[in-house]
Amino acid sequence: MILASVLTTNLAILVLAGFIGFVVISKVPNTLHTPLMSGTNAIHGIVLLGALLLFGLPGLDGFSKALLVIAVAFGTINIVGGFLVTDRMLDMFKSRPKPKVEDNEASTPGSGGQTGSGGQSKSDGGSSA
């Protein structure tokens, strides 16, 4: 009787937390994604540390240790992937160095060099009316 009550309570908390998480995340604008992702990665790091500490507890059976290994693997993938996405998004905001302008007159359009259009200009007699 007590087990069913605890299971029902935990299941209700899980469903409500999932619903609230979905509602909160769906209202986050795109500009806040990167700071929130960084904060989430920090929280997942703490959770991963807790899972690693659970390995040291005595009395865990093989099934529990297998679940811990899977949880640690998925948590690690989530953390690394989150940091890669965050780094990639932050790269979009970095200013790129401007290309150096060389003194090559042939590459400058309109400087009398080859324009690459394949046509002739009016001063060269390319168009006669």
**Tens-level pLDDT at each residue, the chain (129 residues):** 566 788 899 899 999 999 998 888 888 887 777 677 777 777 888 888 888 888 888 888 889 888 889 988 988 888 888 888 778 877 878 887 778 877 665 555 555 555 555 555 455 555 554
- State residue 111's pLDDT score: 53
Tokens 């679940």 correspond to: 67
The domain limits of the chain are: 34-91
Q: What is the pLDDT of residue 114?
A: 52
- Which candidate, 98, 102, 82, places its Cα nearest to that of 90? 82
pLDDT value at position 129?
Answer: 47
64 token code pair: 């529990």
Euclidean distance between CA atoms 67 and 73, whole angstroms: 10
CA–CA separation, 75 and 53 (whole Å): 14
Residue that has been written with the tokens 């890669």 in this structure: 84
Residue 83 CA, distance from chain mean position? 6
